[in-house]
Amino acid sequence: MLREKLKEYNVILASKSPRRQQFFQDLDIDFTVQLKEVEEIYPPELKGIEITDFLADLKSQAFTNLSEKDLLITSDTIVWLDEIALGKPKNAEDAFNMLRSLSGKNHKVITSISIKSKNYQKIINDITTVTFKELSDNEINYYIKNYKPFDKAGAYGIQEWIGFIAIDKLEGSYFNVVGLPVHKLYKELMNL
């Protein structure tokens, strides 16, 4: 359905995330991946959704010469815990500290998506609340050693081992936690 709906567009996914690319394939969208380096810095006064909205828009601004046919999709995900944004860990120690901070608590996974063409832009977002069980240091170290979650916000992938053993409760979209609220993206693209 989306392939037919979007046949007039050159859909560009500006994400190196293999999970987001797989979602686009699974949605049956014809797309190309184009990447531009963006320094993901946001004003410190921003909170929660304001951060991901800002960063999704910032990533879209790197594409300055969109044609009439281009449809650019950029996205950003953070883990929001105790009024602090957890992005991607810098190293194993950072990943350990993030997972230790998530242990036994609720956190929010927030994703924003920018849908942009030459004369149009809309930013949509989604929030999922995730509850982690108490994690042992051995479980955290095992996960980091075997799954190397350095490309994931909050240092974890719900679709991996840690998701199987650590998540007590999920309120909202599972796919949002993986990295893209595909149900909301589908709706927006069908309404273009």
Give per-residue pLDDT as tens, 57-112: 999 999 999 999 999 999 999 999 999 999 999 999 999 999 999 999 999 999 99
User: At 1, is the pLDDT very low, low, confident or very high (cuts 50, 70, 90)?
Assistant: confident
DSSP secondary structure string, the chain? -HHHHTTTSEEEE----HHHHHHHHHTT---EE----------TT--THHHHHHHHHHHHHT-----TTEEEEEEEEEEEETTEEE---SSHHHHHHHHHHHTTSEEEEEEEEEEEETTEEEEEEEEEEEEEPP--HHHHHHHHHHH--TTSGGG--TTSHHHHHHEEEEES-HHHHHT--HHHHHHHHHT-
Mean pLDDT in residue range 44-52: 97
| Active-site annotation, residues | 76
pTM here?
A: 0.94
Mean pLDDT in residue range 27-54: 96
Give the pLDDT confidence of 114-173 residue by residue, as tens digits: 999 999 999 999 999 999 999 999 999 999 999 999 999 999 999 999 999 999 999 999
Mind listing the domains of the chain with CATH numbers? 2-190 (3.90.950.10)
Mean pLDDT in residue range 33-41: 95
